[in-house]
Amino acid sequence: MEFFVINVLNGLSFGLLLFMLSAGLTLIFSMMGVLNFAHASFYMLGAYFGYVVNHVLGFWLALLLAPLLCGLLGALFERWSLRRVYAGGHVPELLLTFGLSYLVLEGVQIVWGRSVVAFTLPESLKGPVVTLVSEPNHHLSVFGRWQDPALWQALCDSSRQSAEALSQCSPFPMNRLFIMLCALMMMALLWGVLNFTRLGLIIKAALTQPQMVEALGHDVPSVFMLVFGLGTALAGLAGVIGGSTFITEPAMAASVGSVTFVVVVVGGMGSLVGAFLASILIGMIQTFAVAIDTTLVKILLQLHIQLGDSWLHNPVLNLTLTQIAPILPYLLLVLVLIFKPNGLLGKKP
Amino acid sequence: MSALSRSRVWNAGGVWIVFAAVLLVMPQLFSSNFGLTILCQIGIVIVSCVSFHLLLGEGGMLSFGHAVYTGMGGYFAIHALNAWGKGEHYIPVSLLPLVGGLGSLCLAFFLGFVSTRQSGTTFAMITLGTSELIASMALMFSDFFGGEAGLTANRVTGHAVLGITFGPQIEVYYLIAVYCFVCVLLMYLFTKTPLGIMLNAVRDNPMRVGFIGYNTLRIRWFAFMISGFFAGVAGGLAALNFELVNSEVVGPVRSGAYILFTFLGGIKAFFGPIIGAVLLVLTNNVFSSLTKAWLLYLGLIFYISVMYLPGGLASVVVRHLEAVKTMARLQGIGGGAGGAAQTAFGKIVKSYLLLLLTLLPLMAGVSLIIEMLYQLQLGDSISSDFYFAGDAVDPQNPWVWILGLIFSGLCTLLFNRARLYTQQAWSDFDEIVKSHQSALEVLQEAWDGVQHKAEDEFVPEFVHESADKSTHQPTHQPTINGGQS
Amino acid sequence: MKYFNPRTVLLAAVCLLNLSAFAQKGETVKIAWIDPLTGLMAPVGSNGLKSFKFVAEEFNKSNVAGVKFEVIGMDNKLSPAESVNDVTASVDQGIHYVVQGNGSAVAGAIIESVNKNNERNPGKEVLFLNYAAVDPDFTNSKCSYWHFRFDADTSMKIEALTTFMKDQKDIKKVFLLNQDYSHGHQVAKYAKDNLAIKRPDIQIVGEDYHPLAKVRDFTPYIAKIKASGADSVITGNWGSDLALLIKAANEGGFTGKFYTYYVSTTGTPTAIGTSGEGKIFQVSNGHYNMGGKMQSMMAEYKKRSGDDLYIPAIAHIFNALTLAMSKAQSTNPVKVAAQLHGLHFDSVNGALEMRRLDHQLQQPLYITVWQKADKKSPYSPENTGMTLAVVKSFESYVSSTPTTCDMKTP
């Protein structure tokens, strides 16, 4: 029971981290039609800036300053480079961001070296926030961080228990809860700004009718710059959190880059809610695929389908779900694009 | 550039003879083993890049997964080679690349059906997804893909026809040269066929093509399959050359390299990707061993060229060729037009010299700073000796940095002046051409009349109408078709 | 007649013999180092090249063959095709010795390329000295006369590891988590086979594979390991895969032990930090506190480069090469290969033998544990304050494994 709960929580937190990453990308794409190939690079920059600020001013200021720095860089990039290639259409825009990703990667390596840097979470975010204990009588108890640890230590110490009376203890880490809270707060803030402020109104109007908005006297190029900066700032925020929770190294951009695109496309290009749903879906799928131990052969056998010998030993059919877990997002992408070309919640252009 | 002026530039047959001659002569110039390997790789990558150009330059379809088709071609080919080695079937080894091509054609048939139903950015995303999918599968299904180590084979197998065993590298080179020439020729001819020209139309205005009654989806799908076929041939050649394929041949890094270098070479002219292919192989093998900062330089060059040279290096070549042709024609008009044009062109050449004069020290200064940065941060030598252009330089000395930065700053200012001067020289030249525009147009129509006769049977009228009369500015901007088709 | 005085003739003969005895003296031997300097394994490769150049310098000061070494680094970008190019380039540049270690796919390609080169181009032979590619195939089904392996392969490492685990009574349930490629599959296979023989009572409660260098979040895997009730995990993971696994284990409350190969690889000590203290074991042909020549080289290397020298195989290569060259009295690769074939030599971890049968070096192995640096084991990698302290050392014969190699000697 506790296994299921902990996996749901893990899936949610991973999905929300993905959402933090892809929200910025969706925003930029829906506003400007530019698919920012360098989005994962800003994620990486956020982590490295966070590392530097953390060293000097502490984690919480890093959480504030690093995204701002990323946003600033993004806005500058838009102003000086991206603006020049709008006239050329979407291909040069994509290629420019593609080139930017190479430059950021090399730049990061020049400044901070090729190896891992030690960017860790502060003490207040370490350790579990709740510990789920599943006792042998199937009773599930939840112990909070604020309670006396002695309450569950005895239950969790496997050396003091017999094999039959073993309880399963699963701590849910504080940093995962932090990720979830940050993501939800960010989403609320974004939704609030877009729907309830004047700036949000202008941004939404500039999406569909940029010329008209310009005719009304608004500085549309500045709005675009602001939106791009906002998108990259969101990536930077995800970077600070991701870099400290996982690992900060030059390869981190490449590791999240493609999944982010999958989320944006599956959710529907340009739909924030779609990106939210898609990221939760992918987070859950990946987590549970790892957790469930089964192969196609086992499933077929359970369905009482008779299999010939060569089928039983076919290496493809004997791949475990855990092994193919990493390619499930891409399979999902291909399937969604075949049946729902605009993504789950995308709008027809 | 319209199809007509393009054919003028290519001057029926002459360029192809030169191309064939170059392919034949190169191994005499670079006869070391390493040189031969490089030439072989260039030949292979030319076919890959030109097949990619069919998608991007001719069809406006930006594919992030082109390496899938070249790589899978290699896998099919190496399985075939292994099967032939065991004596199971007998077909000459020289036909091996065709096996790769046919395999990729089938793959493109299925995957293309799924991908080409979308256009624009969505198409790019699908190709990205399928490329990641296949790259991941390459490590999982080790029966077909040979796992991380890949598959090896021996190309010295079967009967040796005319004593050619393909053991020595030079024999492989000539095989690759033949395939390269034939494939590039076929792809060029493809762009002249009705399908090829409709592909251009789909790139520029898919909605209009739909209204006329052509099926844009089918056109894109066919083009995708043809591009896949040639990509597979390239993959088969690579399998023959290296006698090894592994999971990196279908990887996203390779797809990225194709995109980068084809764009750098130029996607608005047919020979652009050939330049790009040469650059790709040289960068990966030669430049990367010259300096550790090669990725940074590559990124910078690519970045700058996307902003300022959207047509790539080919567009530079084309622009100059066009200028020379216009000058020749202006001479024909007479009345001092030719002379004026010549002096203007002379001014341009002078400005290039100035540009070079300021560019070289600028590059030296910038690369000194970059190399020192790399030495300090990422040096792999235990001693602190650092050599730049043969002289020992101490990167720890702050004066070197200060002087280097000041020097680079000065050079940037000078370079900017030279650049503005060049711009001025070109606009002067363009002014002169514009002032004689009407006379040139008369000349052009006379020339067109001759061409029209030959091409009327193939090309529908509306393509003629949309051909821009201007002889300088390329009119076709490859855009990813944004509209739903 | 006095010119043919027997004494003079004898003296002349002795002088001539002395001269030819040191025919290789003063020669410069070029070694091509083919490994990644950019990309995923760049930090590992960078440190590896620096280490090679440093050890070469040390041996250039004095060595029994009197030769000078020059190490030329070639970036293969972890690509087998690129490595084949580099081997060709080396042959063109007259380099006869190639070293490589990162990536078994690359090593396999190099072996094939070297075999074909030596067969097709006599007079331009190349020897391949493998310092870290541990795929057992290279000394079994793919063995080659021109290939020499200086690290212990996977079968040997698992042999030593399971011999250690045999005596650990608290190990009852083992989970095998590995990267989904040949190396990971081999670690799992040998672990299962060995444990079945040595401790049949140990239950293998799980065997999983994850994609190479793609997973950021290992918490689902940790949850699965915990649910299986395992008290130990055997993993061949390296790089970020190992570091993130340990981090996730810490967070996920997994209190069991990890038996690994690659804690000491560049970057991993920093990433692991103080987590997993006392719980992470490593099997390797070296450790941070070996004393003697290795320790002094490590100290000097740290002082000059700020990085850690953790690959004893490099010292093995130079020790073996210099001895072989002085015995062959030549730097010609064919003659040196004949000497290396079955060579007994001394190196930083004792008396070693390059087994004649399959060119697999037989050497002592160590089981070490990740713990705080103390007086007995003071050396700390990457300024982490932690070290790998020896728990058990095994003589060469313990890890020696049989071979199916059918080597064709020229």
Q: Under the phi-then-psi rule, with left for phi > 0, alpha for psi from -120 to 50, and beta for the rest, what region is B273?
A: alpha
User: What are the backbone angles phi and psi of residue A144, rounded to the nearest 5°?
Assistant: -85, 165
pLDDT of residue B359: 86
A181–chain B Cβ distance below 8 A for any pair:
no
Chain A residues near residue C221 by CB distance under 8 angstroms:
290
pLDDT band at C8 (very low <50, low <70, confident <90, very high): low
Evaluate whether B118 touches A341 at the Cβ level (below 8 Å): yes
- Domain C-terminal end among B269, B296, B311: B311
Mutate which of B42, B78, B140, B148 to disrupt the C interface (most C C-beta within 10 Å)? B148
On whether the CB atoms of residues A45 and A112 are closer than 8 A, the answer is no
Average pLDDT over residues A106-128: 85
Which amino acid, B224? F
Question: Does residue B185 lie in a domain region?
Answer: yes
Beta bridge partners of A292: none
Residues of chain C with C-beta less than 8 angstroms from the C-beta of B249: 81
The alpha carbon of residue C159 is apart from the nearest alpha carbon of chain B, in Å, by: 24
Cβ–Cβ below 8 Å for C223 and A113 = no
Burial of B28 (0-12, 13-18, 19+ CB in 10 A): exposed
The rounded distance, in Å, linking the Cα atoms of C264 and C282 is 9
Number of folded domains that form chain A: 1
| pLDDT bucket at C21, cuts 50 / 70 / 90 | very low
Helix, strand, or coil (residue C33): strand
This complex has an ipTM of: 0.83
Shared domain check, B282 and B365:
no
Q: Are residues B435 and B396 in the same domain?
A: yes
Whether B278 and B367 share a structural domain = no
Report the predicted TM-score, pTM, of the whole model to 2 decimal places.
0.84
Q: How do residues C248-269 score in pLDDT, each as one tens digit?
A: 898 888 889 999 999 999 888 9
With contact defined as 3+ CB pairs under 8 Å, the chains touching C are A, B
**β-bridge partners, C173:** C203
Is the domain of B299 the same as that of B400?
no
Domain extent for A8:
2-121+176-272
pLDDT, averaged per 10 consecutive residues of chain B (485 residues), comes to 50 80 87 86 95 92 93 93 75 87 94 83 84 84 80 76 75 92 94 92 90 91 95 94 87 90 90 94 85 86 87 88 82 72 83 86 85 75 61 73 86 86 86 80 76 58 45 42 38
| In a domain? residue B480 | no
Q: Is residue A292 part of a domain?
A: no
Q: Which residue has the higher pLDDT, A326 or C89?
A: C89
Is B475 a domain residue?
no
Decide: helix, strand or coil at residue A39: helix
pLDDT, position A49:
95
Task: Quote the tokens at residue C164.
Answer: 């250690």
Question: Cβ of C247 and A323 within 8 Å?
Answer: no
Q: Of B301, B311, B331, B220, which is closest to residue B263 (Cα–Cα)?
A: B311
3-class state of residue B308 by DSSP: helix
Measured CB to CB, residues of chain C less than 8 Å from chain B are 37-38, 46, 49-50, 53-54, 57, 73-75, 77-82, 84-85, 88-89, 91-92, 104-105, 108-109, 112, 116, 120, 135, 180-183, 211-212, 214, 301, 304-305
H/E stretch holding A229 reads helix A220-245
Lowest mean pLDDT segment, chosen from A133-147, A202-216, B167-181, C328-342: A133-147
Looking at the fold, whether B291 and B332 belong to one and the same domain comes out as no
CB–CB of A265 and B293 under 8 A? no
Radius of gyration, CA atoms only, chain A: 23
Q: To the nearest 10°, report the CA torsion of A82, A88, A91, A94.
A: 0
**Whether residues B44 and B193 fall in one domain:** yes
| Nearest Cα residue in chain A from B378 | A113
**Strands C257-260 vs C280-284: parallel, antiparallel or unpaired:** parallel
CA distance, residue B160 to nearest chain A CA (Å): 38
Q: Cβ contacts (< 8 Å) between A120 and chain C: which residues?
A: 273
Q: Is residue A127 part of a domain?
A: no
- Residue that terminates a domain, selected from B245, B278, B311: B311
Say yes or no: C219 contacts chain A, CB-CB below 8 A: yes
Contact A15, A281 (CB under 8 A): yes
- At B382 the pLDDT is 57
List, as one string, the DSSP characters of A182-197. Answer: HHHHHHHHHHHHHHHS
Per DSSP, C375 falls in state S
Residues of A in contact with B55 (CB under 8 A): none
Average pLDDT (A225-250) is 91
Per-residue pLDDT at C58 exceeds 70 = yes
Per DSSP bridges, beta strands C127-130 and C97-100 are parallel
Query: What is the CB-side half-sphere exposure of residue C267 using CA atoms within 13 A?
Result: 27
Return the structure tokens found at B154: 């021996």
Output the CA–CA distances (angstroms, integers) from residue B384 to A109, B376, B381, C305, in the order listed. 20, 9, 7, 10
**In percent, how much of chain C has pLDDT > 70?**
94
Q: Which residue of A has its CA nearest to C245?
A: A246
Contact C217 A14 (CB under 8 A): yes
> Inter-chain contact B125–A261, Cβ cutoff 8 Å?
yes
Tens digit of pLDDT for each residue in C361-380? 999 999 999 999 888 888 99
What average pLDDT does range A151-162 have in this prediction? 61
Query: How far is it, in rounded angstroms, from Cα A226 to Cα A209?
Result: 17
Whole-angstrom Cα distance, residue A15 to residue A18? 5
CB contact under 8 A, A116 and C243: yes
Query: Could you list the residue range(s) of the whole structural domain that residue B436 is in?
Result: 316-466
* Radius of gyration of chain B, Cα coordinates, nearest whole angstrom: 25
CA B292 – CA B367 distance, rounded (Å): 11
**H-state helical runs in C148-218:** 154-166, 182-198
The Cα–Cα gap between B248 and B254 comes to 7
> Are the beta carbons of B150 and C305 separated by less than 8 Å?
no
In-domain check, residue B278: yes
Q: Scanning the structure block, which residue is given the tokens 């002087």?
A: B403
Whether residue B329 sits in one domain with residue B279: no
Q: Is B378 on the interface with C (CB under 8 A)?
A: yes
* Whether pLDDT at A297 is above 90: no
What is the torsion angle, in degrees rounded to the nearest 10, for the CA atoms of residue B185, residue B186, residue B188 and residue B192?
130
- CB proximity list for C321: less than 8 A, separation 6 or greater: C29, C65, C97, C129, C336, C340
Q: Which residues of A touch C184 (CB under 8 A)?
A: none
Instruction: Go through chain B and tell me how many residues it has.
Output: 485
Closest-CA residue in chain A for B479?
Answer: A89
CB pairs under 8 A between A and B: 138
Domain C155-285+364-399 is in which class?
A: alpha beta
Closest CA in chain B for residue C88: B34
Instruction: State the Cα–Cα distance between residues A114 and C75, nearest whole angstrom.
Output: 15
Least confident of A45-54, A123-132, B270-279, B391-400: B391-400
Cα–Cα distance for residue pair B249/B154, rounded to 1 Å: 18
B-chain CB neighbours of A81 within 8 Å are: 303, 307
| B45, two tokens | 């990558």
**Residues C122, C112: Cα–Cα separation, whole Å:** 16
Distance from CA of C114 to the nearest CA of A (A): 31
The distance from CA C319 to its chain's CA centroid, rounded to whole angstroms, is: 14
pLDDT computed for residue B132 by the predictor: 87
- Return mean pLDDT, chain C: 88
Give C75's contacts in chain B (Cβ within 8 Å).
Answer: 288-289
Alpha helices in B436-469 (DSSP H): 437-455, 461-466
By the CB < 8 Å criterion, does C255 face chain A?
yes
The letter for the amino acid at A66 is: A
Clarify whether residues B249 and B323 are in a common domain: no
Please check whether residue A190 is in contact with residue A23, taking contact to mean a CB–CB distance below 8 angstroms: yes
Q: Which of residues 195-214 of C touch A (CB under 8 A)?
A: 206, 208-211, 213-214
Residue A301 in any domain: the answer is: no
State the Cα–Cα distance between residues C112 and C93, nearest whole angstrom.
20
With respect to residue A76, please indicate whether it lies within any of the assigned structural domains: yes
Q: Does residue A148 surpass a pLDDT of 90?
A: no
Alpha helices in B168-311 (DSSP H): 169-192, 194-204, 206-212, 216-242, 252-265, 272-282, 288-290, 294-308
Tell me if C307 sits within 8 A of C301, measured CB to CB: yes
Q: Would you put residue C213 in left (φ > 0), alpha (ψ -120 to 50) or beta?
A: left
Distance, in Å, from the CA atom of B382 to the CA atom of C46, rounded to the nearest integer, reads 11
Structural domain includes residue B471: no
The ranges assigned to domains in chain C are 6-153+292-362, 155-285+364-399
- Asked if residue B484 is part of any domain, the answer here is no
CB-CB under 8 Å, A109 with B377: yes
**Can you give the pLDDT at residue B465?**
44
Q: What is the pLDDT of residues A259-295, one digit of tens each?
A: 898 898 888 877 888 899 999 999 999 888 887 777 7
Would you tell me how many other CB atoms lie within 10 Å of the CB of residue B82? 15
The CATH code of the domain at C6-153+292-362 is 3.40.50.2300
